[in-house]
Chains A and B, each alone.
Chain A
């Protein structure tokens, strides 16, 4: 078997288990995945409003085969379905995004959001409990006062580890439209929540008000031509954030300029190539995800067919453009009919910003090495996920003779799409969500 270290410096191997729900319903479809800032924890959100947090096992000499695998740490129901009585609309409980706060004490904090409400969750461990109360027994029953003859001080006794999640803040009633992203500021005190037309700035301590910092709603909704698709704070500059639009442009804003950041300080857009114009040009140019690089010098955007890397100093064209699945360009009409053209793929940087990754169809996901310009297509599937086996590169045959291991475009399964992926902040560990299955691949050479 060819070792694909020639293609990329990493060799990804699957873990011993694939994490998935036992019975697959619509509610089990994973809708977001996110590593925390240390990579110790991995959170997933699903369509049923649940959050599942995985924790990496400490590597131990006694069980070397565990190799720092991820196991379930906490599961909780973050959001429930709601009903907006004023508008007669149901509010879906699907978790759109999860963002971790950097760890500042023993507890972990994350923000999770559905279409309308952002919640701050505290995940903490409890391994001791007080015993020896005076007025009640250890099981909670009230003691007969006549049996109490002396006072005692309750003491903390060890107990089985319990991980509990509590909602510490609920940030609600600030969005008329559907929230598509949240981003925590590097100041660790504020965050933004973004819907189709507005970006709101919150303080993590204050839930009853937020500041609107971007508002692109036209006075007359009939004049609406673009919506906001994603927004993110700069990783180091607490006053800078970027938001992407359905027209394929990105605006960088500086909150120091004005209270309302409707005027951008940088505008990134690549002129459309008239040769590729079609009915669906507007749809495929809509940006589905925007991510700053870890070093804060670049931006990455994902539209339907490409991933682009932009230099923050160059606004008129991207620094690099990578074709994710250009063979779909001739199939846009079918993809429009089966709704796949509306799929919103995410994109991620690796820890050193040298490799970028994004998903595709047929449970394929793609990695692009920015330095060597090599790329690879991998597949997240049970058949390919034998432990310690190397992931084999896949190839899509675009025409002519199909080789043995290749798959033709017409054979691709468009119901199997990888929309959500995340990369460990420091190591070569990736988590890939394929419908209701979560695949975690690690680069470990034994």
Chain B
């Protein structure tokens, strides 16, 4: 009985990973399609990715080394919708650390009121200084990167994966097409 359960869990796990991979490739492909990013489509893709990620997390057996760092933001958190007005450079698949932690039930980090010493160069909040539709000329730094400067630099694609998910990241990175 437990063998069947484990097998089913692994199947679900594999399915979730496959869907995640397909979704990421679709998201990247949509960046180069004519007419620009479609907000509706991007939102639906992000919802599928979130479902897949949630199912993946819930189906991973507890014996596996997972979440060694609970503070580590989850990857591919697309609770935040895409922002097609910002060009593709802005569409980040990386974790919104605070948003993810809220979802997980952990104490939410107040992104709006970070102390100046940990200031994020990322523009956020209700009163953005610069218009949101201007393309960003430089890569944005994510909160995760600031806090964990000791980590090795992220892989070349912008899907930044933390150390806890290295197994997943390896397989996912392989399927991400170069844009």
State whether the Cβ of B163 lies closer than 8 Å to any Cβ in chain A: no
State whether the Cβ of A232 lies closer than 8 Å to any Cβ in chain B: no
Contact with A along B120-135 (1 / 0, CB 8 A): 0000111000001111
Once bound together, how far apart are the Cα atoms of A292 and B47, in whole Å? 29
Given A88-B87, A225-B81, A286-B44, A333 contacting B19 (CB threshold 8 A): yes
Residue pair A336, B35 in contact (C-beta under 8 Å):
no
Residue pair A221, B35 in contact (C-beta under 8 Å):
no
Residues in A neighbouring B133, C-beta threshold 8 A: 86-87, 176
State whether the Cβ of A211 lies closer than 8 Å to any Cβ in chain B: no
Residue pair B80, A279 in contact (C-beta under 8 Å):
no
Residue pair A178, B80 in contact (C-beta under 8 Å):
no
Contact with A along B40-53 (1 / 0, CB 8 A): 11011001100110
Residues in B neighbouring A282, C-beta threshold 8 A: 44, 47-48, 51
Once bound together, how far apart are the Cα atoms of A197 and B99, in whole Å? 22
Q: Which of B19, B52, B124 contacts A220 (CB 8 A)?
A: B124
Residues in B neighbouring A283, C-beta threshold 8 A: 44, 47-48
Once bound together, how far apart are the Cα atoms of A293 and B48, in whole Å? 33
Residues in B neighbouring A196, C-beta threshold 8 A: 39-40
State whether the Cβ of B36 lies closer than 8 Å to any Cβ in chain A: yes
Residues in B neighbouring A281, C-beta threshold 8 A: 51
Residue pair B126, A227 in contact (C-beta under 8 Å):
no
Q: Contact size class for B? A: 35 or more
State whether the Cβ of B118 lies closer than 8 Å to any Cβ in chain A: no
Residue pair B51, A220 in contact (C-beta under 8 Å):
no
Residues in B neighbouring A286, C-beta threshold 8 A: 40, 44
State whether the Cβ of B38 lies closer than 8 Å to any Cβ in chain A: yes
Once bound together, how far apart are the Cα atoms of A89 and B30, in whole Å? 13
Tally of A-B Cβ pairs under 8 angstroms: 91
For window 1-27 of chain B, which residues contact chain A by CB distance below 8 Å?
A: 15-16, 19, 22, 26
Residues in B neighbouring A222, C-beta threshold 8 A: 79-81, 83, 96, 99, 124
Contact with A along B81-100 (1 / 0, CB 8 A): 11111010000000010010
CB distance from A181 to the nearest CB of B (A): 12
Residues in A neighbouring B60, C-beta threshold 8 A: none
CB distance from B125 to the nearest CB of A (A): 7
Once bound together, how far apart are the Cα atoms of A59 and B155, in whole Å? 70
Residue from B48, B55, B125 having most chain A Cβ neighbours under 10 A: B48
Name the CB-closest residue of A to B126.
Answer: A219
Residue pair A246, B43 in contact (C-beta under 8 Å):
yes
State whether the Cβ of A92 lies closer than 8 Å to any Cβ in chain B: yes
Q: Which of B26, B36, B39, B52 contacts A197 (CB 8 A)?
A: B39
State whether the Cβ of B34 lies closer than 8 Å to any Cβ in chain A: yes
Name the CB-closest residue of A to B18.
Answer: A333
Name the CB-closest residue of B to A284.
Answer: B44
Name the CB-closest residue of A to B40.
Answer: A227
Residue pair A178, B39 in contact (C-beta under 8 Å):
yes
Name the CB-closest residue of B to A225.
Answer: B81
Residues in B neighbouring A86, C-beta threshold 8 A: 133-134
Name the CB-closest residue of A to B84.
Answer: A177
Residues in B neighbouring A88, C-beta threshold 8 A: 87, 135
CB distance from B131 to the nearest CB of A (A): 9
State whether the Cβ of A91 lies closer than 8 Å to any Cβ in chain B: yes
Residue from A226, A279, A283, A337 having most chain B Cβ neighbours under 10 A: A279
Q: Which of A92, A279, A280 contacts B35 (CB 8 A)?
A: A92
Residues in A neighbouring B82, C-beta threshold 8 A: 224
Residue pair A89, B35 in contact (C-beta under 8 Å):
yes
Residues in B neighbouring A223, C-beta threshold 8 A: 80-81
CB distance from B52 to the nearest CB of A (A): 6
Residue pair B44, A224 in contact (C-beta under 8 Å):
no
Once bound together, how far apart are the Cα atoms of A339 and B43, in whole Å? 14
CB distance from B22 to the nearest CB of A (A): 6
Once bound together, how far apart are the Cα atoms of A211 and B135, in whole Å? 27
Once bound together, how far apart are the Cα atoms of A86 and B44, in whole Å? 26
Residue pair B40, A90 in contact (C-beta under 8 Å):
no
Given A90-B35, A91-B35, A224-B80, A279 contacting B43 (CB threshold 8 A): no
Residue pair A220, B85 in contact (C-beta under 8 Å):
no
Given A92-B35, A220-B125, A279 contacting B40 (CB threshold 8 A): no
CB distance from B24 to the nearest CB of A (A): 13
Residue pair B35, A220 in contact (C-beta under 8 Å):
no
Residue pair A279, B81 in contact (C-beta under 8 Å):
no
Once bound together, how far apart are the Cα atoms of A220 and B99, in whole Å? 12
Residue pair B48, A227 in contact (C-beta under 8 Å):
no
Contact with B along A196-230 (1 / 0, CB 8 A): 11000000000000000000000111111111010
Q: Which of B55, B81, B96 contacts A224 (CB 8 A)?
A: B81
Name the CB-closest residue of A to B41.
Answer: A342
Q: Write 27 A-B pairs (CB below 8 A) sorted by A numbering.
A: A89-B35, A91-B35, A94-B35, A115-B35, A196-B40, A219-B126, A220-B124, A222-B80, A222-B81, A222-B83, A222-B99, A224-B39, A224-B80, A225-B81, A227-B39, A279-B16, A279-B52, A280-B48, A282-B47, A283-B44, A283-B48, A286-B40, A286-B44, A333-B19, A336-B22, A337-B22, A342-B44
Residues of B within 8 A of A (CB): 15-16, 19, 22, 26, 34-36, 38-41, 43-44, 47-48, 51-52, 55, 79-85, 87, 96, 99, 124-126, 132-135
Q: Which 9 A-B pairs have the closest CB atoms?
A: A224-B81, A222-B80, A89-B36, A92-B35, A196-B39, A282-B47, A221-B83, A219-B126, A279-B51
Residues of A within 8 A of B (CB): 86-92, 94, 115, 176-178, 180, 196-197, 219-227, 229, 246, 279-283, 286, 333, 336-337, 339, 342
